[in-house]
Structure 1
C-alpha cells in the first residue's frame, strides 16, 4: 500500500508539472529529485551527476548530434528539392501519380535525416504547393504526407533507435538494419492505398499535361544520386562493420556538406542555421534522456519497476495480449508526449516484461518506433500534424482525419510484425557480428 501511495504521488507530480507547462526534461528531473528527497535516504545530487555523465559520455550518444547535423544540412540545401524533381518522372504513370512522391521522397529523405519532423517539413514544402496547383485531392495529399513523414523515425538512421539502443543496451547497427524491411513494407502499403484510391476515383490525381519520356527519367537519375550515395556510405559502413554508428554519422556530415556545396546551396548562413538547429535539437533530446534516466533510477530504487513487472507477470497474459495492452498504453501516451519521452519514461517497465514474454529486444525497438510513428499523427501532440499545419491553412483536427487511413495502416503493420517477427529480425540475423 505504501508503494502504491509513492507511485501515485510521483505520477501525480509528473502530470501536475506537464499539465502546468513545465518543460518535459525539467519535469522529469524534479519528480526524480522529489523521489530521492522525500522517499529515499540516498544523496540525490551524486546520483544525478552519475546519471547525467553516464547518459551523455558514451560514444553512441556522440552519433546523435552528428546525425541531427546531417539532417539539418540536407533540410536547408537544394538536395531535397532535387529529390522531388528526380522522383517525379518515375511516378507519373502510376495511379495516384505525384502523390507517391510524398511517400517515396519521405522514405529516401528518412534514410539520411533520421527525423520525422524534418522529413515531413522538407517533403511538404516541395510537394503540397505543387499538388494544389495541379488540383490533386487535398485530403489524400495531406494524409499521405502525414503518414509517410513518420518514416523518418523507422528507416535508419533514426534518432529514436539511437536513444532506444543506448537505453536498452542493444546493438544500434542491428536496430538500424531491422528498420529497413518494416519501413519499406509501410511505404509500399501506403503507396498501394494511394493507388487503390486513384483507381476508384481518377480525379484524385488528374493529368497535368506534362508527358515524361524515358530520356527525362534517365536525366533525373543524377538528381537522386546524392541521396543514394549518402545512404550507401552511412548505412553500408555500419552494416559491413567498417565503421561504428558515430564514425558513420561523421561520414554522413562530410558527405552532406560536400553535396550541398556542389549543388551551390551551401553558404555561411545555411551552415550557421544548420549548426544552431542541430545544437538546439541535440540539447533538447539529451535533456529529456537525462531527466528520464534520473527518474528511472529513482523509480528503480523505490522498487516500483520490479513490483509492477511482477504484478503484470502474475496476470499470466499471453504474449499477444500483452502487446495489445502495451499498444493501447502507447497510443494513449502518444496523445500527450513526444517520442523521446515515450521511450525513456516507459522502457524501464516495459522492456523486462517484453523479454520475459519471449520477445526479442531488437524487435521491441522496431515495435516501439512504430508506436511513436502513430503518436506523430495523433492529436493533440502529434508533431507531424503541427508541421503540416504550418505549411497549410488546415486545422489540426482536419489533418488528423486526413491521416486516419494511414494511422490504421500503421496499426495493421504492427499486427503483422507481431505475428511474423521474422520480418524485423531477418536482416539483423545476417549482420557481421
Structure 2
C-alpha cells in the first residue's frame, strides 16, 4: 500500500472517531465513512450495491439469531423482577464470609450473568436489589458500589454472552466453544473479586457491620428456594448447548420460553411487562445490528485500502512475540474502551486485529476470551463506561468517583488476564472436552 493510500486510510479512521465524538450514531458514522472510502478507492464499484451485498451476507448469519433471543430472555427476567428473589436466597449464606453481604453483589451477578448476557442489565438488576439493602445495613458505599461495578461486567464473560456472539460471528468461530471457554475464566474472575472483598474486609474490620443473627439450616434452605427457578433456567440454557441437544440459537429460544414460564408460574407476567420486554429487546437488538451493519461495510471498505493487510504485515515484520502483541492489543482496547462500547470496539477492529493474531499463531477461541475481559474493563473506565452510567443513575455518585472505587476490580481483571496467558488451559479445557465428547 502506497504512503498516500495509507495516509488517506488513516485520515478516514480519524474522521470516524471525530464523528463518534460528535454524538452521531456509531453505525451511521461507520456507513458514512465507508461510502467515502469506497468512492475514493473503488470508484468503479457502486457503494450502495457493495453495502447491500456485504451487510445482507453478514447479518443473515443463523448464528446471529441467538442475539435478540438472549437479549429478550434477559429483558423478561429484568422486567418481571424474578431476579429480586436472588438477594433473599443468597444473603443467609454470606454471614461467615469476610465481607459478608458484599459478596451478594458478586455471586448475584455471577448467577444472573448466566441468564442475561448483558453487563448493563446484570449491573442494573442486581444493583436495584443490593445497593439499597447494603446501605440500609451500614456497608460503605465504596466497597458496595465498587464491587457491583466490577462484578456487573461478568454479564459479558459468563455465557450466554452477547459480546461472544458478536465476536464469534466476526471471527467465524463456534459460539458453543466460546461459551464453554468463558465458564472457567468467569468463575475465576468472580473468585478473584471475592478474594479482594475478603482481604479488604479483613484489613478494615470496623467498616463492616456485625453479622445478622444465626439462622437455622432449615430456614436457610427455605430462603434459598427462591434461587431454584433461576438455577433451573441456567441449566436449561447452558445444558442444552453443552450436551449437544441444541445450538446456541435453539438454547436461546429455550431460555425465552423458560423465562416466560417462570414469570407466568410466579404470576408476574402481565401485558405491560411483556410489552416492555419486547420493546426493550427490540431497541437493544436494533442498536447492535446497526453497529454490525456499519462494521461489515467498513471492513469491506478498509479492505480496498489495504490498511488491515499492511498493518498485519508491519506488526509481523516487527517480530513481536505473542505476549508482546497481546500486551499491545490490551493497551489499545483499554484506550478505545474510554470512548467506545464493547460491541463497537470488536466490530471496528476485527478486520485489522484478527489477521494479526492469526499471523502470530494465537488461538482465536483464547483471543475471544481475552478480548471479552478487556471489554469488561472498558465497562468501568471513564468517561464512556456503561456500568458507570448505570450506577451513576442508580446511586447519584459521579462517574469518576465510581471509576475510582472500581479500580481494584479493574486490577483483578488484569490479574485474571495474566493467569489466562500463563495458563491457557483454563480457557481451552472445556472446549477441548466438548470436541472429545463429540468424537
TM-score, normalised via structure 1 length: 0.98
Corresponding position of 1:410: 413
**Cα RMSD (Å):** 1.0
Q: Is the 8 A contact 2:67 2:285 kept in 1?
A: yes
Structure 1 residues 201-216: aligned runs within 5 Å: 201-207=204-210, 209-216=212-219
Correspondence for 1:192 among 189, 192, 195: 195
Matched, 1:110 2:113: yes
Corresponding position of 1:306: 309
SS at match of 1:229: helix
Corresponding position of 1:33: 35
Matched, 1:363 2:362: no
Kindly tell me the number of residue pairs found equivalent between the two proteins.
433
Q: Give the drift of 1:50.
A: 1.1
CA–CA distance in 1 between the matches of 2:202 and 2:267?
Answer: 41
Q: Which whole-Å deviations, capped at 9, do the CAs of 1:360-407 have from their partners, x for residues lacking one?
A: 100000000001000000000000001000110211010000000000
SS at match of 1:288: helix
Correspondence for 1:93 among 96, 102, 107: 96
Correspondence for 2:398 among 383, 395, 401: 395
Corresponding position of 2:23: 21
Matched, 1:144 2:147: yes
CA–CA distance in 2 between the matches of 1:94 and 1:208?
Answer: 10
Corresponding position of 1:128: 131
Q: Is the 8 A contact 1:92 1:212 kept in 2?
A: no
Q: Is the 8 A contact 1:160 1:340 kept in 2?
A: yes
SS at match of 1:242: coil
Q: Is the 8 A contact 2:122 2:155 kept in 1?
A: yes
Q: Is the 8 A contact 1:155 1:179 kept in 2?
A: yes
Matched, 1:170 2:173: yes
Corresponding position of 2:264: 261
Q: Give the drift of 1:208.
A: 5.2
SS at match of 1:98: helix
SS at match of 2:100: coil
TM-score, normalised via structure 2 length: 0.97
CA–CA distance in 2 between the matches of 1:135 and 1:428?
Answer: 43
Q: Is the 8 A contact 1:174 1:362 kept in 2?
A: yes
Correspondence for 2:13 among 4, 11, 14: 11
Q: Which whole-Å deviations, capped at 9, do the CAs of 1:70-117 have from their partners, x for residues lacking one?
A: 000001123211111111111122111110000000000000000000
CA–CA distance in 2 between the matches of 1:132 and 1:160?
Answer: 32
Q: Give the drift of 1:18.
A: 1.1
CA–CA distance in 2 between the matches of 1:12 and 1:193?
Answer: 40
Q: Is the 8 A contact 2:41 2:304 kept in 1?
A: no
Q: Give the drift of 1:212.
A: 2.2
CA–CA distance in 2 between the matches of 1:332 and 1:388?
Answer: 21
Q: Give the drift of 1:21.
A: 1.4
SS at match of 1:349: helix
Choose 86-95 or 397-406, whichever is displaced more.
86-95
